[in-house]
Chain A
Amino acid sequence: MNSMQNNGDNLLEMRDIHKYFGSVRALRGIDFHVDRQEIVGLLGDNGAGKSTLIKVLTGFHTPTSGEIVFEGESVYIDSPHRARELGIETVYQDLALVPLMSIARNFWLGQEPTRNFGPVKLMDQEQMAVEAAAALEDVGIHIRDANEVVGSMSGGERQSIAIGRAVYFGKKLLILDEPTSALSVGETRKVLEYTYAAKERGMSVIFITHNISQVHAVADRFTIISRGRKLGDFTKSEVSEEEVATMVMSGVVPERLRLFDPEAVDD
């Protein structure tokens, strides 16, 4: 059933998050938590509010109301920069790379290594290219030339680079928002492998996808949201793949798992 809220292993807890865009109520009181070394599959239909929830978490949006607790402390994440400082690294569904910039520059964007010439700090472009290529190689992405412009690459290649970057820089929490939507079968398997490897290294992962069999293979727990509300948390052992799929599609929790009746709650 729903895991305990005050678990000692708690890495992240989001309490009663609301987010309104004008009259659009994208999130309507969501409680969400991630334990240490846990892979959480965040599921829901199109427009359910998954991307909005993680954008609130990473400081891209400020919540209309609600509280975020990270590693036991109440935090105010007001910018993606702050989230990064906390060790949260994200692959956004729609905000991956800058097309007119090179792979290396995209990879290091916002945290470029520098060489110091007295007081003058210049980017170390050679190191950037070499390390970016090596880091991407580590996660199985082969590139020809790290100075090549991203704009000329395929959607899948771009997605791989964004994932490689997040895996490389992620420290505590890795968020992947539909990371495999443009990937081939082989590449998708690799992404699932890094996800698992990240967990082994002590990180937690939030994995958003529409492909339930994919996430069912790696996730420890599922959080399903529907139209801005949480349907529930389900550990892998207690639900089957089909049940999850039915819940995501119908937005109704089967009788045996039901904690509250979503239909009874007022909109």
Chain B
Amino acid sequence: MLAFFEENAEASTGVQLARIYMVLLGLGALLVAEQVLAGWIALGERINVLRSDINFIEWVVSLAFLLLAAAALRAAWSLWRRDRAGWPWSQWVSFFSTIIGAVFLMKALLPGGIAQISNLVAPPLDTLIFAIGALLFVSGLLCYRFVTRGVQVFDEKVDKAQGALSTAASDMTPGQFISLQLAQSPSAGAIIGFVFIFLVFSFVTDLFLQPTSVGSVLTNVSTKGIVAIGVTILMISGEFDLSVGSMLGAVSVFYMFFLTEGIPQIGLGPMPMLLAMPAALVVAMLLGFINGIILVRTGIPSFIVTLGTLLIYRTIPLVAIPGGRILRYRDYYDEFPQLWISPWVLTLLALAGLVAIAYVAWRTLPGLWRGQQFRYGEIHNAANDGHFKTTQTLISGVILLVTALALLIIAVWLLMVISFHLGRGGELVQVGFFDLINGRWGFSFEQVTGGLFSIFIPPGANFRNSIIWWLLLVLLFQVVLTQSRYGNSVFAVGGNPGAARAQGINVNRVKVMNFMLVALLVGVTSILEVTRNPGVDPLKGDGWELEVIAMTVIGGALLSGGYGSVIGTLLGALIVGMLATGLVIIGMNARLFRGVVGAITILAVVLNTLVRRQST
């Protein structure tokens, strides 16, 4: 392959075969996509082969095959023209066909799935899937082995010795590229675990990849996921908070009292609903501050401090709620609180959102586009001595595309919201306050969002706003942690407190701030939990600390501090959530859940450690 491109050698048999393979693969993939779209290859929940409605999985599969076909034909085209770009293209195409083949094989070989739903269709279909999978896998692997031969192998030791060639400059095979990316990510174990568990559940049961299950996974895990963000950041700074569950119970009780009877003992009456929220957050931060200040003043390990406050904070709901009752909003008021919002306010908010989107687009897209143009130019720059960054170019192209699309979709949605509200005239929009905060999509706050969610969400599925808050907070704190000066100091404080202090960072302040951040997020979660189900029982949040810490550790954070990521924790939370829902769906005893989470935690950490050791 190298000779073919670099020395203008005659196309060898291998190159000829690769050309033919790419053409065949392209045509074959087109065929599969067409067959799926036509309903002849039924995947997922389908009994009647001839039914014309296409389900979600089939859309995904046919789209994947269309893309594969396009890429394969693109590769073939450059291979004929002896265009260097053909090389990485064919590497990636064969790489992906191997992966897709493996996924198909997995699907065919795992128990469950179609075979159990429909005996009529199953045997030939399973065989068909097996055949496609085996064909793709074997041929893809062979082709991959061939086309990656002769790629300038990236070898760190050689590089170091020669003092030349940075990582980015040399080209890599997809395999090397991906393992490098994994090795550099704190959450390799979580990524691998997530993909694996996701595939297994999707294949073993058709009920998993359904809106109802996806909704229940996301909704159930979102609130714990929010707490886990804070716990991750705290853990990166080298500390640990066991008291989050108790704090949740305590803050929920306070919030409920603020909303209903106030705290008569100190002469505090019920608060307006808009005031109760910040008041609850202040209480939460106070609890976090207590944790932090005990830690830095006494120097006791945070494990002990927060074990103490775990027990102390729990007494608040236990004492405040009489005799094992459940404190319910309905015991005080018949109606949940309502808000009347002027559509003009909503329109203005949407406009502000549009401005923000435009600003983000203006700051990110041109840079991404220029980078992409530059890299693309480099591919065709003959002066590069063979070190061109085609793989990076492909990836950055995908990033550019995804960013642009995401921004576009949000902008279009905001425009729809604006037109919806403008169309209604000045009539006030009525919405339940609790629904606005953590309502159910497609049910409770359609008036505000312009009836948009109900288009996508089938009636049975339980998606709630907490999912959106969760994802927004993940995004926010990912940026804070990796891009802000504060984030940098958090890593330094956990990684080497002495060195951090020597560089002028106030280590104690960072730690106290992080305890308060955890508490603030617990406060947010309390509000979400109370508004979802307006009642508090004295054991609210009991045991959360363990699950949340499991999510954080699965996500790759080091207990010793200095290492971890919020995105990793997002994956960790999703893994735990998938297990909780998935085990029930496949009919396993729900009591196994804790054991499985425990095993997965250990496995993920072992994987993380292995990958990290390999990378250094």
Q: Is residue B562 contacting chain A, with contact meaning CB distance below 8 A?
A: yes
Q: A105-B488, A109-B489, A123-B488 are in contact. Are A145 and B501 (CB under 8 A)?
A: no
Check A112 against B483 for contact (C-beta < 8 Å).
no
Chain B residues within an 8 Å CB radius of A121? 484-485
> Chain A residue with minimal CB distance to B356?
A118
> Chain A residue with minimal CB distance to B563?
A100
Stretch of B159-167, B319-327, B567-575, B585-593 contacting A (4+ beta carbons < 8 Å)? B159-167
Type the 1/0 row for B337-366, where 1 means its CB is closer than 8 Å to any CB of A. 000000000000000000000010001000
Check A99 against B167 for contact (C-beta < 8 Å).
no
Chain B residues within an 8 Å CB radius of A84? 503-504
B503 interface neighbour in A110, A125, A149, Cβ under 8 Å: A110
Chain B residues within an 8 Å CB radius of A217? none
Chain B residues within an 8 Å CB radius of A117? 359, 363
Chain A residues within an 8 Å CB radius of B500? 98, 109-110
Check B485 against A125 for contact (C-beta < 8 Å).
no
How many Å from the CB of A131 to the closest CB on chain B? 15
> Chain B residue with minimal CB distance to A55?
B502
Within 8 A of A (CB), among B201-218: none
How many Å from the CB of A30 to the closest CB on chain B? 21
Check A94 against B483 for contact (C-beta < 8 Å).
no
Q: Is residue B505 contacting chain A, with contact meaning CB distance below 8 A?
A: yes
Q: Is residue B451 contacting chain A, with contact meaning CB distance below 8 A?
A: no
Distance, CA A80 to CA B499, complexed state (A): 10
Type the 1/0 row for B79-97, where 1 means its CB is closer than 8 Å to any CB of A. 0000000000000000000
Q: A100-B562, A109-B505, A112-B488 are in contact. Are A95 and B498 (CB under 8 A)?
A: yes
Chain B residues within an 8 Å CB radius of A144? 159-160, 163, 166
Distance, CA A193 to CA B160, complexed state (A): 26
Check A123 against B483 for contact (C-beta < 8 Å).
yes
How many Å from the CB of A133 to the closest CB on chain B? 11
Check B485 against A80 for contact (C-beta < 8 Å).
no
Distance, CA A95 to CA B498, complexed state (A): 6
A110 interface neighbour in B505, B563, B616, Cβ under 8 Å: B505
Q: Is residue A258 contacting chain B, with contact meaning CB distance below 8 A?
A: no
> Chain A residue with minimal CB distance to B501?
A80
Q: Is residue B495 contacting chain A, with contact meaning CB distance below 8 A?
A: yes
Chain A residues within an 8 Å CB radius of B363? 117
Q: Is residue B235 contacting chain A, with contact meaning CB distance below 8 A?
A: no
Q: Is residue B491 contacting chain A, with contact meaning CB distance below 8 A?
A: yes
A98 interface neighbour in B163, B166, B492, Cβ under 8 Å: B492
Within 8 A of B (CB), among A55-112: 58, 60, 79-81, 83-84, 90, 92, 94-101, 105, 108-112
Q: Is residue B496 contacting chain A, with contact meaning CB distance below 8 A?
A: yes
Check A97 against B504 for contact (C-beta < 8 Å).
no
Chain A residues within an 8 Å CB radius of B488? 101, 105, 108-109, 112, 123
> Chain B residue with minimal CB distance to A96?
B499
Distance, CA A118 to CA B160, complexed state (A): 41
Q: Is residue A122 contacting chain B, with contact meaning CB distance below 8 A?
A: yes
Q: Is residue B479 contacting chain A, with contact meaning CB distance below 8 A?
A: yes
> Chain A residue with minimal CB distance to B480?
A122
> Chain B residue with minimal CB distance to A148?
B167
Chain A residues within an 8 Å CB radius of B167? 145
Q: Is residue A140 contacting chain B, with contact meaning CB distance below 8 A?
A: no
Q: Is residue B12 contacting chain A, with contact meaning CB distance below 8 A?
A: no
Chain B residues within an 8 Å CB radius of A127? none
Check B502 against A79 for contact (C-beta < 8 Å).
no
Q: Is residue B506 contacting chain A, with contact meaning CB distance below 8 A?
A: yes
Within 8 A of A (CB), among B499-525: 499-506
> Chain B residue with minimal CB distance to A118?
B359
Within 8 A of A (CB), among B153-188: 159-160, 163, 166-167
Task: Count residues of chain A with CB under 8 A from any CB of chain B.
Answer: 36
Distance, CA A134 to CA B6, complexed state (A): 35
Check B504 against A79 for contact (C-beta < 8 Å).
yes
Check A99 against B503 for contact (C-beta < 8 Å).
no
Distance, CA A264 to CA B517, complexed state (A): 58
> Chain B residue with minimal CB distance to A81?
B504
Q: Is residue A114 contacting chain B, with contact meaning CB distance below 8 A?
A: yes
Distance, CA A182 to CA B159, complexed state (A): 23
> Chain A residue with minimal CB distance to B491?
A101
Q: Is residue A142 contacting chain B, with contact meaning CB distance below 8 A?
A: yes
B492 interface neighbour in A58, A80, A90, A109, Cβ under 8 Å: A109
Distance, CA A136 to CA B596, complexed state (A): 49
Chain A residues within an 8 Å CB radius of B359? 117-118
How many Å from the CB of B233 to the closest CB on chain A? 15
Check A151 against B163 for contact (C-beta < 8 Å).
no
Distance, CA A230 to CA B483, complexed state (A): 47
> Chain B residue with minimal CB distance to A108?
B488
Chain B residues within an 8 Å CB radius of A60? 501-502
How many Å from the CB of A137 to the closest CB on chain B? 13
> Chain A residue with minimal CB distance to B166?
A145
Specify which of B359, B363, B491, B495 lies most central, judged by the most chain A CB atoms within 10 Å of its CB: B495
Distance, CA A118 to CA B563, complexed state (A): 29
How many Å from the CB of B63 to the closest CB on chain A? 34
Check A99 against B495 for contact (C-beta < 8 Å).
yes
Distance, CA A24 to CA B141, complexed state (A): 68
Chain B residues within an 8 Å CB radius of A100? 491, 495, 562-563
Q: Is residue A46 contacting chain B, with contact meaning CB distance below 8 A?
A: no
Check B562 against A98 for contact (C-beta < 8 Å).
yes
Check B492 against A101 for contact (C-beta < 8 Å).
yes
Q: Is residue A246 contacting chain B, with contact meaning CB distance below 8 A?
A: no
A123 interface neighbour in B166, B485, B495, Cβ under 8 Å: B485
Chain B residues within an 8 Å CB radius of A80? 501-504
Q: Is residue A2 contacting chain B, with contact meaning CB distance below 8 A?
A: no
Check A95 against B499 for contact (C-beta < 8 Å).
yes
Chain A residues within an 8 Å CB radius of B502? 58, 60, 80, 90, 92, 95
Distance, CA A122 to CA B482, complexed state (A): 9
Q: Is residue A181 contacting chain B, with contact meaning CB distance below 8 A?
A: no
Q: Is residue A152 contacting chain B, with contact meaning CB distance below 8 A?
A: yes
Distance, CA A151 to CA B506, complexed state (A): 23
Check B499 against A98 for contact (C-beta < 8 Å).
yes
Distance, CA A110 to CA B490, complexed state (A): 11
> Chain A residue with minimal CB distance to B495?
A98
How many Å from the CB of A111 to the closest CB on chain B? 8
How many Å from the CB of A83 to the closest CB on chain B? 8
Distance, CA A145 to CA B160, complexed state (A): 11
Check B485 against A94 for contact (C-beta < 8 Å).
no
Chain A residues within an 8 Å CB radius of B562? 98-101
> Chain A residue with minimal CB distance to B485?
A112
Distance, CA A149 to CA B562, complexed state (A): 12
> Chain B residue with minimal CB distance to A83?
B504
Check A151 against B496 for contact (C-beta < 8 Å).
no
Known A-B contacts: A111-B504, A122-B479, A123-B485. Give 12 more (CB < 8 A).
Answer: A58-B502, A79-B504, A90-B502, A95-B498, A95-B502, A101-B562, A110-B504, A111-B503, A125-B483, A144-B163, A145-B166, A151-B616
11 A–B pairs (Cβ distance < 8 Å), ordered by A? A58-B502, A79-B504, A81-B506, A84-B503, A92-B499, A97-B499, A98-B500, A105-B492, A109-B505, A110-B503, A145-B167
Top 6 A-B pairs, shortest CB-CB distance: A81-B504, A98-B495, A110-B503, A95-B498, A110-B504, A122-B483
